[in-house]
Structure 1
């Protein structure tokens, strides 16, 4: 219990470290005063010696100023032209884009045109084709573009993949990924339910489960066997193209079957912990492995491994909060320690470490490639097609010729 309290306190209130004198810190700008920005960037930046959160832009100037004052951000842009003003700031080197899904394409493209590296929230865009154009521009300009699937940078999910890849459990037979949140926090008028902004459960919690399935199996779905959406319905709203929840079955190579569930407003149950689902379970010929809380493992997680030998089943539980615990080398060069990370690092902190390494020309511990991000968007579109409600609408933004 003491380690749990200490780890979680340090994760949310990290000690501010001095900025590096050997390597020029990178200045980040945030598009929008988004609720996710503190955990995703501002808090991790406090413990990173090479990161400074330099500016924030919001359409509402008052909101931007309040946000900046609360988080100690020195430069503020507000009003209808605020996003472009931030992009025009010569001191901003990296843009963090946590805008609604439907705005990812437009403002990531504009940031890349402005010569900025981009850390873009997931899902990358509304369509796979938009994702291709984003990466095409980033590559032409020699800039770093990363889709922020933060959980992939944590050693816990990498430990599960290492177990599967080792052959200890034999061939994968099936995988089930669940990410469902209780009703209440996400109201019916939330941007997550706005069709024109790329809303829907598949685009939100579903993009995590699809990505996790693909990552752990090292494969992409060959078909969607079934996809059943739960439409958003309330006294005020009935949007048939917006899914509040999704249940889907995917066929993968090598006869692997995958199931996923995602829900942004799961009905409450008698036991509160039953109202949240955050796990992935993989069944293999020689045993099973389950990771509880694969999305935010720093707060608490559990890796349960069951191996079969004849009629005997042996079970062990692992906790992996830093790479030294997982016996996975960081892979990062340039005199960086192989025991990368601390047990209190958030998934976002591990992600920031990798992103800065990439921008600085170093080798990140792990990375999410162009091909990986586009394949995930293709899978999302496959699920929506099978569900009968179609992909999210293409952006009306017309990019300049490459």
Structure 2
């Protein structure tokens, strides 16, 4: 508990506030990356603003929102110096020559349009997941980024934390033998997501498989180093509504997939898991992998900085031995990849988002990031979300009507 409280305190008040680097008169130093944020989203503070406090090469320079009061209130609360608002606020932010990179936390349906517009404006983009509503849109986003020579990253922040990488290293080592099955769950209790939340809006790309399900799908693909070969079953739990559009919104999604080498994967995502009394279940956030020679389970794979546990059970000679690991920084992860910088990376209070920001800045600065989410990885994740929706009988989310301007 003491270490938890200490980590929590340091997240919001880093031990030392670094001076933001700048170009000196002799040309030395490194110009800081200036970020602009599209939308005054609730995710922006933990995902970017707080991590930027402890990064010496990042400045949160501007924010744009449709509503003037909301934009100004958000900027004041988060000490952001420049504000854009109104019908043209987003585009004015993109046109600001001082801004190097854009953080796009807009609703899913708007990811494609405003990421494309940001790339057209010559900005690097860190975009929230899921990247878009369709895999084809993701392809177009990467095609444009590559054409422009810009960095584009889907914000699967948990992938940058050493905890999930430690689990993958255990599986890849062969210690537990061949993977037989993998089960990933991400389920929030009823009431955690309001009934009017954008996650329940089909027109905005809502649905459990899009929101929490994109994590669980990504996790099984990452840990097995493979893509599914088929969707065996997909069972949606719809919103209770007579509205035809809302019947296509999955409040929850339970899917079973087949992966190479006879691996069976199950994913469960729920935006409003019913409360139970015996036992009390607040949330489910875990991934469990069963192998021929044992099992490994990571509880809280999404936000391990706050608290997590890696439980490894090995079977040998008719007996089972169990160990528990905690991994908050790469020095604790036992990763032998020959990268001395990576092994020294991080602090126990770094959020997954802080590790992600480190990688994003490294990429922009021409350095090699500790890990990365590649183009084909992001495309495949949306492809299989679409296939899950197809199997469930409710169809993909509506694609954007934004068209790239012709040259």
Whether the 8 Å contact between 2:342 and 2:370 is mirrored in structure 1 is: no
What SS does structure 2 have at the residue aligned with 1:275? coil
Q: Does 1:362 align with 2:362?
A: no
After TM superposition, the score normalised by the length of structure 2 is 0.96
The offset of 1:185, in angstroms, is: 2.3
Query: C-alpha separation between the residues in 2 aligned to 1:87 and 1:329?
Result: 41
The offset of 1:331, in angstroms, is: 6.9
Runs (4+) of structure 1 exceeding 3 A deviation are 234-238, 329-333
Match of 2:355 in 1: 350
The CA deviation string for residues 165-188 of structure 1, in whole angstroms up to 9 with x for no partner, is 000000000000000001112122
After TM superposition, the score normalised by the length of structure 1 is 0.97
Q: Does 1:178 align with 2:179?
A: no
What SS does structure 1 have at the residue aligned with 2:138? helix
Query: C-alpha separation between the residues in 1 aligned to 2:18 and 2:241?
Result: 47
Q: Which sits farther off after the overlay, 205-214 or 268-277?
A: 268-277
Match of 1:219 in 2: 226
Match of 2:264 in 1: 257
* Unpaired runs of at least 5, structure 1: none
The CA deviation string for residues 26-74 of structure 1, in whole angstroms up to 9 with x for no partner, is 0000000000000000000000000000000000011000000000000
Match of 1:10 in 2: 10
Query: C-alpha separation between the residues in 2 aligned to 1:107 and 1:331?
Result: 39
What SS does structure 2 have at the residue aligned with 1:240? helix
Query: C-alpha separation between the residues in 2 aligned to 1:235 and 1:276?
Result: 28
Query: C-alpha separation between the residues in 2 aligned to 1:332 and 1:119?
Result: 25
Whether the 8 Å contact between 2:179 and 2:291 is mirrored in structure 1 is: yes
What SS does structure 1 have at the residue aligned with 2:304? coil
Whether the 8 Å contact between 2:389 and 2:395 is mirrored in structure 1 is: yes
* Unpaired runs of at least 5, structure 2: 23-28
Whether the 8 Å contact between 1:27 and 1:91 is mirrored in structure 2 is: yes
Matches within 5 A, 1:2-401: 2-14=2-14, 15-21=16-22, 22-233=29-240, 239-270=246-277, 274-328=281-335, 336=341, 338-401=343-406
Query: C-alpha separation between the residues in 2 aligned to 1:159 and 1:112?
Result: 34
Query: C-alpha separation between the residues in 2 aligned to 1:45 and 1:205?
Result: 25
Return closer, same or farther for 1:331/1:73 CA change in 2, 3 Å cut-off: farther
Aligned CA RMSD, in angstroms, stands at 1.6
The offset of 1:11, in angstroms, is: 1.6
Query: C-alpha separation between the residues in 2 aligned to 1:235 and 1:69?
Result: 42
Query: C-alpha separation between the residues in 1 aligned to 2:12 and 2:177?
Result: 39
